[in-house]
Structure 1
Amino acid sequence: MAGRSVSTIANLLDMSVSSLYRVFESEQMPLTQYIWLTRLELCCRVLTDISQKEKSVSQIAFEWRFMHSTYFSRIFTKQFGKL
């Protein structure tokens, strides 16, 4: 499930990409921002999971499709206050 794209999510829900975007039109958070925040929250869960302690921060970030570890560190710290 790591880092699913909008089109992949739409396919899994058996709907078009435009329909998925329409679902989020009435929400305060745009779809892409929701996906991005969800990925960050899932990274946070993995980082605090004792059974995942052998994984590096960069490895976890890459698994969730954050391609630059410095960018990931910056946005993670901004969102959660620490890494």
Structure 2
Amino acid sequence: MVQAAKLIGAGSALIALAGVGAGIGIVFAALIQSAGRNPLMAKQLMGYALLGFALCESIALFTLLVAFLILFSSF
């Protein structure tokens, strides 16, 4: 029973990954659109896009950490 609750909790924690995927898609869509409008700023925009990607990915890593804590904790 406890194992089933852990699996449900870990699965629920991973729902946030859908938002992370959408966020990363929005970041790079904005990069492509902005670089198309102003090609001279493409190099600077790439730095901003990588920062946005890293911030979105940090949420995914935190979510994965929480899921592993739920699965492998001994309470």
| TM-score (structure 2 length as normaliser) | 0.32
Q: Which has the larger radius of gyration?
A: 2
Task: Judging by fraction of residues, say which structure has more helix.
Answer: 2
Structure scoring higher RCO (CA < 8 A, sep ≥ 6) equals 2
